[in-house]
Amino acid sequence: MANEPRKASRRDFLKVGSASLIGLSVGTLFPGGTWLDNKIYAIPASEGYLLVDTKKCAGCLSCMLACSLTHEGKENLSLSRIQIMQDSFVGFPNDITMSQCRQCAYPPCVEACPTKALHADENNGNIRVVETGKCIGCQRCIEACPYDSNRVVWNHESKHSQKCDLCANTPFWEEEGGPDGKQACVAVCPMNAIKFTKTIPTQSDSGYNVNLRNVHYGKTGFPTN
């Protein structure tokens, strides 16, 4: 009996196997034992940006309705990715705020996403987009956006984050969007208060809120400078 080789049972296999794997899993917590990638990488700059002129905006909300319509197939201000806010108690020119996504050079929303659902889309000029199927709805990107109001918004119907993709993915619009195509808000604005550019704006409020008025606008009596 003493010379008989000891046979490992299923129990022994499970005990040793699971204990070893637990050790390995816990071992990854300690410095030097991590399997995480320590590479430093840069997020490439977007190839398209939206510029606005709040002094020109009439607050008609057409851009918001167009944004919702082209992306979601319905006109719903709550589903728009661009937000126009009006304060009735403040006079011109500070009565209107236009909140368009700035396609930040260092996007905190991309960094905050735990599943890489929000990423720079290489196929569409590195626009920062949400791959909605991969969004787990943690809303960290919304909180991470440093601007007020947040440029990443919550889609309460399909329960995922969404943001301006420069109309790269507009299933309810026949036009080609993206950095080489058209943008619904630009196309629909009756005041031409939104403009698309491929040049990286100065990373400040004044870099994105620019003077889009021309001499014809001046004929209406409003300032052009």
The binding site for another protein (CB under 8 A) comprises 10-11, 14-15, 17-19, 21-22, 25-26, 28-29, 108, 112, 114-116, 131, 133-134, 136-140, 142-144, 146, 154, 156, 159
Pick 56 or 160: Cβ nearer another protein: 160
* Contact partners, residue 109, CB within 8 Å, separation at least 6: 118, 128, 141, 142, 144, 145, 151, 152, 163
Shortest approach of another protein to residue 136 CB, angstroms?
Answer: 7
Instruction: In whole angstroms, give the CA distance from residue 34 to residue 174.
Output: 48
Pick 6 or 116: Cβ nearer another protein: 116
Instruction: In whole angstroms, give the CA distance from residue 120 to residue 55.
Output: 31
- DSSP H or E stretch at residue 52: strand 49-52
Pick 54 or 126: Cβ nearer another protein: 126
- The residues that bridge with 120 in the sheet, in sequence order, are 128
Shortest approach of another protein to residue 98 CB, angstroms?
Answer: 22
Shortest approach of another protein to residue 128 CB, angstroms?
Answer: 16
